[in-house]
Structure 1
Amino acid sequence: MTGGTSGGMEARSKQWDDKKFEACVKKKEQYESELEQLGSIRDMHLKESETAGKKSGLEKKIQYAEIEKGSIEDKLSNFSLEKRTIKEEIERISPELKKLRDAVEKRNKELRTLEKRINEITDRIYKDFSKSVGVANIREYEENRLKDAQNVAEERLNLSSQLSKLKYQLEYEQNRDMSSRIHELESSVTALENDLKRVQNKEGEAKLAAETATEEINQLKDEVKEWRSKSDDCEKEIHEWKKKASTSTTSLSKLNRGINSKETQIEQLMGQKQEILEKCELEQISLPIISDPMDTDSSTPGPVFDFDKLSRTLKDKRSDRDKIEVEFKTKMDALISEIERTAPNLKALDQYEALLEKERAVTEEFEAVRKEEQEKANRFNDVKQKRHDLFMDAFNHIAGNIDKIYKQLTKSNTHPLGGTAYLNLENEDDPFLHGMKYTAMPPTKRFRDMEQLSGGEKTVAALALLFSIHRPSPFFILDEVDAALDNLNVAKVAGFIRSKSCEGARVNQDADGGCGFQSIVISLKDSFYDKAESLIGVLRDSDRG
C-alpha cells in the first residue's frame, strides 16, 4: 500500500462539483413537490372519473342545446316566411289604404265644419239657458250631466252587486242548518266516546280475565306441585306400609307355617300317645285316669291321664314330652303376641285411591290449560309466519322491480344500460328485528351511501322506490317531484311517466304485462308538463287582488 494520489483520481473527483449537486437536489425537490401536487393514482382516477362525468353532462347539455337550436332555427325560418308574406300583403294593401285614409280625412273635415256650425247654432239657441246655469255652452252642461249619470249608474251597479251578495249570503246562512249539524257532530262524538269507553272496559275486562287466568294457572301449578309432593309423600308412606304389610304377611306366613308345623307335631304326639296307649294295652300297663277332667286345662277329647301316679321310670319317659310341650306353648304364645302387635292400617289403600283421583283431576285441568296455551302459541306463530310471508312477498316484489325501474329512469343514449339499485335486509332470518338498506348507483358513479348522493339523484332513487312499491297503483299524485332535478333528469322522469301512463302502456306494453296507470303531476317546468295529455292552469284572480 503506497501513499499519494494519482492523476486519474483527481480528474474523477472534479466531475461532481457543488453547484451541479445543488442543482440536482433542487430538481429532485421540485419533482417531489410536483408529484405531491399531482397526488396518488387513486386521486387521479377519481379526478378523471369526475371530469368524465362532467364531460358526459356537458355533452348531454350540448346535445339538448343543439336540439333546441334546431327547433329555434325552424321557428325563425317560419317567422321569416310569415314576415315576408305580411310585407307583401302590406305592399298590396298600402295604396288602397292611402286612398281610404284621404277619403276619411276629407269626410272628417266636412264633419268638423258641420259640427262647428251646429255648435254655433246651438250656442245661439241656448245662450240664455247657459248663462242661467253657469256654463259656457250647452255641450259642457250635457257632458257634466253625462258624467253624473255615469257615476250614479256605477254606484247603483255596485250597490246592486253588494245587495245581491248580501242576499245570497243571507239565504245561504238561513239555509244552513247549523244546529242539526252541531247535534249530529255532538251525537257522533258521544257515540265515539261511548264506543271508546266500551272498548276500554272490554280491554280492562280482558286484562282482568287474563290476570285472573294467569293467577289461576299459577295457583293450579302450585296446587299441582303440592299434590305431587303430597302424592310423593303418600307413595312413600304407602311404600313403607307395603313394606310393613309384606313383612307382616311374611311373619304371618312364618307363624302359620309354625302353627301348621306345631299342629303336625300335635298330631304326631297324638299318634305317639295313641301308640303309647296301644303299647300300654299290649304291655298291660294300666294308666291312672283323672276322674274329673274339668280340673285340668286340657282341651283334647278322650280320657285325661294322671301321669303323677306313674312310676319313676315311666315319669322319666314323660318328662321329655313335657319339656317339648312347654316349649311349644311358649313359642305359640310368642307368635300370637307378635301377630297382635302387628296391626296394619287397612284404610291406607282408600286414602291412596282418593289422592290418585285428586291428582288425576288436577292433571286433567293442567293438561287442558297447557293445551289451550299450546293452541294460543300455535295461533301466534301462525300469525307471525303469515306476517313474515306477506312482508317477504312485498319485499321480493319491490327488490325484483326496483332495479328495472331505476334503469328505465336513468338510461340515456350515452348510457343505455342505466344505473343500478337494489334492496337488501340486514337480518334475513327475522327482518323485523333490523332494517333494510337501499343502495342506488347512478351511471358512471361508484358505490356510495345514499346520504352522499345529490338531491336529484336522491329524488330519482325515491321515485324508483315509489313506483316499485305499488303493483301497479290506479293513479299517482306527484307534487313537484322535479324540484331538485336538472333538465336531463326531468326529461327522463317525464318520459318514464308518459310511457307508463294508460295511453302509453296501450301503445307500448310492459314486458311483465303491466296495464299502466294514471298520474296527476304538479310541476312548474315546461319540459315536464309539455308531455301531458291535458293541462290545468292555476293562476291568481286579478279582480280579487
Structure 2
Amino acid sequence: MKIKEIKLYGFKSFQEETKFLLNPGITAFVGPNGSGKSNIFDALRWVFGEQSMKALRCEKNEDLIHISVDGLSDSNFAEVTVTIENEDFFPQFGSEFEIKRRFYRDGESEFYLNRVKCRLQDIQALFLNSGTLTYSFLELAEIERIISGDTKEMFDDVAGILKYQERREQTERRLEQTEQDLLRLEDVIGEMERTVRSLKRQARQTQLYQELKDEYKKLSLFITKSDYEKTIAELKEVETSLNSLNQQKQNILIKLNHLDEDRQNLKNEFTILETKKKETINEINNLNNEIESLQQELTNLENETIQFSIEYERKTASLKEKQEHLKNLNNKIIENEKKLEDVNHELAIWNEKLSNEQNKLETLSNKFIETTRTIEEKQKTIDGILLKLQLLKNDLARVEINKTNKENVINQLNKEKEELTRNLSTRTEEREKFEQELDVIVKEQDNISKAILAQQKQISELEAKIEEIENDIIKRQEELNDCRLLIDTLANRLGKVENIKFIKQQFKDRFYGMFRDCISVHQGYEHLVDVCLYDALNFFLVSEISPDDFKNLPEGRYGFIFKKEEMTRETPEELKKLKLLTDFIEIKSNKEFLSIILSNFFLTGSFEESVAYSKRFPEFGFIAPDGILMHNNSLIIQKGEFGYFQINQKLNEYQSRAESLQNEIVFMNDEKKKLLYELSQTRTDLEQNKERLFALNINKSESSMQLNTLKNQLNNLNKEIGEIDNERIKVIKEIEELDIRINEYKTQIAENEKTLVQTQTEEEELKNNLSKIEAQINNQNKELNQIVLKIGILNELKSVSEKGLAETRIEITNLKNEIDEISKLSQSEKLGMIEQKIDELKQSIQEKKEKRSKLEGEIPEQTIQDISKKIDSIYDEITQLQKQQDEVQNAIMQVNFKVFELNHKKEELNKKAKEDFQTNLDEYIPEEIPEPEMKLNEVKERMARLGEINPLSLSAYEQEKKRLDEFLIQRNDIITAKQNLLKSIAELDARARKRFIDTFNEVKEKFNDVFAKFFEGGEADLVMTDPTNPLTSDVDIVVRMKGKKIKRINQLSGGERTLLAVSLLLAFYLVKPAPFCILDEIDAPLDDVNVVRFNKFLRELSQHTQVVIITHNRATMEYADYIYGLTMERPGKSKIISTRLEDLEPAGVEEQ
C-alpha cells in the first residue's frame, strides 16, 4: 500500500487545486522558508484524521482554509484528497481507493471514503494497527515527544494491541453499564419484592372478597328473580285490566265513529241542500234575467206593432191627403211640425223619467246582488262559528279532564313527599350515629398510627445501629483477616530453622539452643541488634564440637557458636564512654559466654562518629542510631523489617491487635444480638399494631361505606324531594296554565255564541231586506216598461212626423210608389205575425214566472233547519261519549303508567341481572334459598368489614410475581454477563500482554542493532518502568555512547536526539513496516556525517516503505528519487515544480 496522489484545494497556501503524484522510493519537497512545504505534511496528517490544531500549526479550524492577501479570493472550504494504491492490504477495496476530508467555514466537516460520506472513526478504524496514525508522521516535535518518553502509543501500534485496547475499553464500558444495570436491577428487585408481599396480602383479601361477592351474587340473583316473577304476575293482572279498559274505549270509539258518520252524512246532506239552495237562487236569478229579457223583447214587439199601425195609418192618411187634400199639404205640414215639437217636448220629459227609473232599478239590482252576497257570507260565517264552537267545546272538555288528572298528580306527589321526608329524617339520624362511630375509629387509628410511626422509627434506628455494628464488625473482621495474614506472613518470614531436630539429636547434651532464643532485647533497640548480629542470631549454641559432628549433616548452611572458656578482652579507654550492645540485651542464664560476642559492638552518636571509631578500632563494630553499622572497614545498612527481632516485635504487635479485634467482634456480636432481639420485639409489636390498624381500617371502611351509602341515600332522598317539589311546581304551573286556557276557551265560546246569534239576526234582516228589494225591483220593472212603451210611442210619433214631413216635401212624386209598397204588404198578415210572436213571448214569460215560483217553493229552508237540529243533537251525544272516552282514557293512562312502571321494573331487574350477574332472568332457574334477605345482609356485613378491596390485586400479584421472576432471571443473566465480560477483559489483557511483550523484545533487539549502526560502539536499551504491568507501563530509553558514561536523554545534543528517534523509528519499521513514512525537516539538526547515515537509513527504508521528506538539506536531496520544488511567487499562494533526478543526471553529464 502506498500513496499514489495527493490533491489539495483551498488548504492553507494552496488556493487552487494542486496535485502531487507520488511514486515508490524517496520523494522530497524542497523550497525556501515560507513556501508552504510543511503545509503538505499538515495536509497528509489532517486527511488521516489529525484533530489537534496545535499539531497542524493552527489556532482554530478556520485557519486551514486559504485566505488571500487582498481578501477577494478567499476559499470557502479546504479539501485534501489522497488516492492510495492497494496491494491486498485492504481486501475489501480494489487496486486503489480514495480518502477525502473537507472543512467549510461554517464549521461543517465531511469525510469521504471512495467518494461515499463516512465518519472520522471509520477512517481511523481503517488505518488502525497499520502505523499510519502513530509513527508514519515524524517531525522535530515528535522527536522531542520520543525523547521525553512518550512512546507508549507507538509501541501499542507496533504491537497491534490498539484494537485490543479499543475492545477492552468497549468491554469496560459494557461492564460499567452492566454493573449500573445490576445496581438498578437490585433496587428494582428489592422494591418489587416489597410490592409482591403487599400484593400477596391484598390478593388473599381480594380472594375472600370474591368468594363473598359470589355468595352475594347468588343471593341477590335469587331475590332479583323473586321480584322479577312477582312483577310479571302483577303485570299480567294489570294487562288484563288494561284489555278491559281498551275494550270499553273501543266500544266508545265505535259509537263515536257511527255518530261521526251520521254527523258527517247530515253535514254532507246539509251541504248538498245549501248547494241546491244556492243553485236554485242562482236559477231564479237567471229566470229573472230571462223574464226581463223576454219582457224587453215583448215591449219591443209591442212598440213595433204600435209603430206599424201608426205608420200604416199615416201612410193611409197621407195618401188620402195627397189624393184628397193635395192643396192643403202645406197647412198639414205646419200642423205636423207643431205636433212634432210637442212630441219632442213630451219625449224629453219621458226620457228623463226613464233615466231616473233605470238608475233606481240599477241601484236596486246592485243592492239585491250585494245583499245576496252578504247573506251567503253570513251563512259561511255562521258555519265557521258553529265549527269553531264545536272545536272549542271539545278542547275545553279535554283541558278540564287534563286539569283533573293534574290535580290527582299533585295529591300523589304530596303523599310521596311526605313518605320521603319521613325516610330522610330516619336516614339523617342513622348518619349522625355512624359519623360518631367513625370519629371514635379515626381517633383510635391516629393513636395506633402514631405508635406505628414511633415503632417504625425505632426499627429504623435499630436497623441503622445493627447496620453500623455489622459494618464495624466487617471492618474489624477485615482488619482481623489482614492481621492474621500479616501474622502468617511474619511467622513465615521468621520460619522454622531447618534440621533443628537433627542438630539436637546430633549434639544431644551439648546443644544449648539457638542464639536468638537465648537473648531478649530491650524495646526500641531491636533493629540495632538485628543489624549487628543478623545471621548469627540463627546460629546453634553448643558446648563443644568435633569434625565428626559435621559429617552426617544434611545439605544446607549452618552456623555454630560453641562455648569456650571465659575469655576477657580489655576494652580501650576511648570506647568505655560508649554504650555496649549488651546494655540493651538480656542474656538468659547459663549463656553468659554470649556476652563476649555482644561486647564487640558499641552504640555511637552518629554515622560520622562510627566511621571515625571504625578506622581506629576495626576489630569492633560501631552502629549509629539510624542503624548503619561500621565493622572491619565495611558498611552494613538494613532497610525495612528484615531482622528477627523487628519481625518478632511486629508479630507480637499484630497478635495483640488480632486478639483485641477478636474481643471487640465478640462484644459487637453480643450487642448485635441484643439489638436484634429488641428489633424482633419491636417488629412483633409493630405487626400487632398493624393488625389492630387493619381491623380498624376494616371497621372504618365498613362504617365509611355505610356512611357513604346513607349519604348517597340522603342525597337521593333530597334529590327525589327536590324533583317532587320541582314536579309539583311544574304541575301547579301547568294547572294554572290549564285554568287560563279553560277561561280562554269559555270566553271564546261565549264570544262565538254571541257572534253567532248576532250573525243569524243579521242574516234574517238581510233576507227580509232582500224580499223587499225584490218586490221593489218588480214594481220598478213594471213602471219602467210603461215608460219605455210611452217613449217608444212618442219616438215613433216623432219619427213618423219627421218622416212624413220629409216625404211630403221631398217625395210627393213617389206617393204612388209608396201607396203601392204599402198596398203590397198585407196589413193584417204582418200584424198577425207580430201579435203571434207577442203571444208566444207572453206565454214564455208566464212559464218562466211559474217556474220561478215553483223554484222559490222548492228552496228547503225547513229541511236545512231540521238537519241543523239533528247535527246539534249528534254533537251533544258525541260530547257525552268523548267525556266517557276521556275518563276511560285516563284510566287507561293510569293503567299504562302502571304497566310502564312494571315493565320498567322488569327491564331494570333483567338489566341488573345481565349487567351485575351476566344472567338472563327468563332462563335462570334458581335453587330455593330460605331467608335470602337475612343471608344477604350477613354477606354485606362481612364484605363491608373487609374494607377497601383492590380488585386488581390478584392479576397484579400474578403479573408482578411473573415480572419479579423475570427480573431475577435477568439479574442472573446480568451476573453471568458480568462474569463473561470480566473473563473477556482478562483474556484480552492476556493476549495483549503477550503480544506487547513479544513486540517489545523484538523492537528492543532491533533498536539496539540500529543504534549501534548510527553510533559505533554505542549501546541503547529499552526499559519498562513497570515490568509487572507492561500494558500500562511507560518505556524509557537508556543510552551509552562509546567511551562515555550513561547519559540522560535530555543531555544529548540535537543531532543525537534526532538519530536516537530515527533509530527507534527504524526499529518500528523493521518489526512492523508502515506503508509510508512522512518526515518534516527532521534532518535539520544533523551534521554532514550524520546526514549521510540518516540518508542511508532512508534509502534502506524506501525499499519496502514509501518515503516522503520535507527538507532543506542538499545531501538529502541527492538521495531523493523525486523532487518537488515549492515557491511563493505571490504572497500566500504556493506553486510547485517537479522533476526526477534520473532525468537531470544525463543533462549534467552533457554539460560537463
TM-score, normalised by the number of residues in structure 1: 0.32
Higher RCO by CA contacts (8 Å cutoff, separation 6 or greater): 2
* Greater Cα radius of gyration, structure 1 or 2: 2
Bigger share in strand: 2
